[in-house]
């Protein structure tokens, strides 16, 4: 018996079923339900969540990831002038049912990005400003929700031009959220479209 992995597995189940939305809450709830003190890293929970998703969704998961990356490619081609970067679970190759497509772009004119999407035939379903605070740093971004086919959602995050190239750390895996730029995604789809971008090290 491995209490640490048991907690990670239960936390992954809570996240998959959406009984918990945040990793910390899921880990705390899992530890309480199992009556143990150990606490796995977010990375360990993410590994178990990936395994659990494979067990539940089977081969349809690979089909979904391929489809979402293809949809992301089309969207990024439309947004090529604002330096799009694919991030999130579709970049990682860990997307599952209910995941959306996360794309960062860099522009100081978010309305122009919204208009570009609409003029290209995409249905915009949301347009919201969000503020993120990290230490003494504050960042503002505009989140544009886009409805894609088969109930797949996309989120285009418009960030200030001056933030382009800044390194952001991932709270789940602990590595840099590098993502994929358009030429990189185009190459990936021609060479290894199901590749995962997940670090091996277990960050705590």
- pLDDT tens-place string over residues 164-197: 888 888 989 989 999 999 999 999 999 999 999 9
Nearest alpha-carbon partner for 72 in 42, 93, 44 = 93
| Structural domains in the chain plus CATH codes | 3-57 (no CATH), 61-191 (3.30.460)
Copy the structure tokens of residue 204.
């705590």
Q: What DSSP designation does 42 have?
A: H
Q: Does the structure show a pLDDT above 60 at 91?
A: yes
- pLDDT tens-place string over residues 19-59: 999 999 999 999 999 999 989 999 999 999 999 999 999 99
Q: Which residues pair with residue 46 across a beta bridge? A: none
Q: Percent of the chain, pLDDT > 70? A: 97
If you average pLDDT over residues 108-133, what whole number do you get?
95
Residue 202 is predicted with a pLDDT of 53
pLDDT tier at 151 (50, 70, 90 boundaries)? confident
Please, which residues have CB within 8 angstroms of residue 134's CB and are 6 or more apart in sequence?
none
Nearest alpha-carbon partner for 76 in 176, 180, 162, 202 = 180
Q: Does the structure show a pLDDT above 70 at 201?
A: no
* pTM of structure: 0.90
- DSSP string for 141-156: EEEEEEE-GGG-EEEE
pLDDT tier at 204 (50, 70, 90 boundaries)? very low
């Amino acid at each position: 018996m491995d209490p640490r992995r048991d907690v990670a597995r239960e936390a992954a189940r809570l996240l998959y079923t959406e009984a918990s939305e945040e990793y910390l809450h899921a880990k705390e709830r899992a530890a309480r339900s199992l009556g143990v003190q150990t606490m796995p890293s977010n990375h360990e929970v993410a590994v178990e969540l990936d395994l659990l998703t494979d067990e539940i969704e089977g081969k349809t998961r690979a089909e979904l990831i391929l489809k979402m990356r293809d949809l992301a490619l089309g969207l990024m081609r439309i947004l090529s002038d604002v330096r799009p970067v694919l991030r999130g679970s579709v970049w990682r190759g860990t997307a599952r049912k209910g995941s959306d497509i996360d794309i960062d772009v860099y522009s100081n004119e978010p309305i122009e990005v919204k208009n570009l999407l609409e003029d290209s035939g995409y249905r915009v379903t949301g347009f919201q400003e969000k503020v993120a605070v990290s230490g003494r740093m504050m960042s503002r971004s505009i989140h544009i929700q886009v409805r894609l086919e088969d109930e797949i959602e996309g989120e285009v995050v418009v960030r200030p031009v001056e933030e382009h190239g800044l390194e952001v750390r991932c709270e789940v895996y602990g590595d840099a959220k590098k993502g994929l730029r358009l030429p990189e995604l185009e190459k990936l789809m021609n060479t290894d479209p199901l590749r995962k971008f997940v670090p091996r090290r277990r960050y705590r």
